[in-house]
């Protein structure tokens, strides 16, 4: 194999490798973590929605959750609207 024929492609390959490790791989890990968090939601979890609403999960099904925001107010959200689950310290 002649280096002169392959030489111009080496920077392109190196650029793709760097791009993969700096952008693609971290994004895939983040998506996997989010998917696991959404699948592990349970009744009674304290959560924050992507809109910044804090609440307690009262009901949950495959696509939607019902959050208790205050004593008399329950809001229904798409399950994907959950940003994070709060720990007891938060």
Q: Give the right CATH number for 42-90 from 2.30.30, 2.60.40, 2.60.120, 3.40.720.
A: 2.30.30
pLDDT tens, residue by residue, 60-71: 999 999 999 999
Q: Record the pTM.
A: 0.73
- pLDDT at 90 exceeding the cut of 70: no
- How far apart (Å, rounded) are the C-alpha atoms in residues 47 and 36? 15
- pLDDT at 1 exceeding the cut of 70: no
Asked if residue 86 lies in contact with residue 69, where contact means CB atoms within 8 angstroms, the answer is: no
Asked if residue 53 lies in contact with residue 21, where contact means CB atoms within 8 angstroms, the answer is: no
- How far apart (Å, rounded) are the C-alpha atoms in residues 37 and 31? 10
- How far apart (Å, rounded) are the C-alpha atoms in residues 44 and 67? 9
């Amino acid at each position: 194999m002649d280096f002169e024929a392959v030489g111009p492609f080496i920077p392109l390959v190196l650029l793709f490798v760097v791009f993969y490790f700096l952008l693609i791989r971290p994004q895939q890990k983040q998506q996997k973590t989010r998917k696991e968090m959404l699948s592990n939601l349970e009744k009674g979890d304290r959560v924050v929605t992507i809109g910044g609403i804090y609440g307690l999960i009262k009901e949950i099904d495959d696509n939607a959750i019902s959050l208790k925001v205050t004593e008399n107010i329950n809001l229904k959200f798409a399950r994907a609207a959950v940003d994070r689950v709060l720990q007891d310290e938060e």
